[in-house]
Structure 1
Amino acid sequence: MDIKDRASNILGSMPSYSDEALKGALLKLDVQKSEAEAWLEAPGPRPYYRKLLYADEQVELLVMNWADIECAPHDHGDSTGWIQVLSGATRHTVFKVKKGHLPEALFTEIKKEGVLLYAPQHGVHKMGREGTDPLITLHLYSPPIRGMKVYDLKKCAACIVSSDCGAWWPEETRQKIKEIRLKHFH
């Protein structure tokens, strides 16, 4: 049974969408690097290429492969979820956010193949490939991400982006739902 069939069976009939239920579902999917690679394309000029594998009203499952560029600091709107490192290692930075201010980095850690990262509602983070091995990640969010906020630390701004934009500053005007000016923390 391929990823999409397993996702439909497991994610399509979840009795709960709690953090623990999402984590359990992601582990039960047991996605292997080799089967994830079949869905991926080169990221091009972006930090990553993403492919939606499953979505319904309650959850979405995406697989991503990463270029040698970090994504921008971002949150996942009102969604929570889990990120599984299927291959390689990621440099993961978590930020503290004070309303109306630029996010401030709290810590950076290296997470290797097999690790699960929790993505809390409105939590701000950024990721990037660590080292030269290909980085492939699997992402499960509930509800599907809407209203993701992406930060540009140089511009002192944030932008709520459309759901077809990833964790980077949108290049197309239609992808900018709302732009927000921010202040430095100090």
Structure 2
Amino acid sequence: MSAATAVRLDHLAIARQFADAPQGWVVPPRFDPVERWYARLHAADNHEVWLLTWLPGQQTELHDHGGSAGAFHVFSGTLTEDTVGGPAESPRVVTRDLGEGAGRRFGSHHVHRIVNRGADPAISIHVYGPALTRMTKYRLSPAGLEIRAVERAGAEW
């Protein structure tokens, strides 16, 4: 596949297609009281689709997607995304709430955290292209955005 084909792939449209057909999900959503639950719904040559569930208070750490672009769609509930931008030594955080039916595309250098700050469980569909091979986790410190860990597919998730 050419780079031009990858650019034209609409990750959010794919997420919405999966959200519109929950009867076709290969696994039903589950909620884990200890940590976020996730399962891969689909894998193709140029993208993969994941189903995630979020109980109130569950969240990701600040992370990127290892060079993959993507999107997520909120199937139910409300999720909050904290996006980190600007220079690493003086980053700024933008917060947005996304309710049921909302979605968001992101590029290959996107650093964010997703949190269920609401009172109700949430379900979301995430699409990454190409498929995730690694994720870098970050922390915000007085020195700015710092790498905390790099996780690899098949090893840490």
Q: Structure 2-normalised TM-score?
A: 0.79
Number of corresponding residues: 149
Task: Show the counterpart of 1:69.
Answer: 58
Q: Does 1:79 align with 2:61?
A: no
Task: Show the counterpart of 1:28.
Answer: 17
Q: Looking at both structures, which has the greater relative contact order when contacts are Cα pairs under 8 Å and sequence separation is at least 6?
A: 2
Deviations 1:148-183 (A, max 9, x none): 1111346x542110114xxxxxxxxx64xxxxxxxx
SS of equivalent to 1:107: strand
The answer (yes or no) to whether the contact 2:54–2:122 under 8 Å persists in 1 is yes
Q: How many angstroms does 1:89 deviate by?
A: 0.3
Give the counterpart of 1:55 among 36, 39, 43: 43
Q: Any unmatched runs of 5+ in structure 2?
A: none
RMSD: 2.8
* Identity level (%): 20
Deviations 1:5-35 (A, max 9, x none): xxxxxxxxxx933355333333334435676
SS of equivalent to 1:28: helix
Task: Show the counterpart of 2:108.
Answer: 121
Q: Any unmatched runs of 5+ in structure 1?
A: 1-14, 165-173, 176-186
Alignment of 1:1-186 (within 5 A): 16-18=5-7, 21-32=10-21, 39-46=28-35, 48-67=36-55, 68-96=57-85, 98-99=87-88, 101=89, 104-153=91-140, 157-164=147-154, 175=156
**Runs of 4+ with >4 A deviation:** 32-38
Q: Rg: which structure is higher?
A: 1
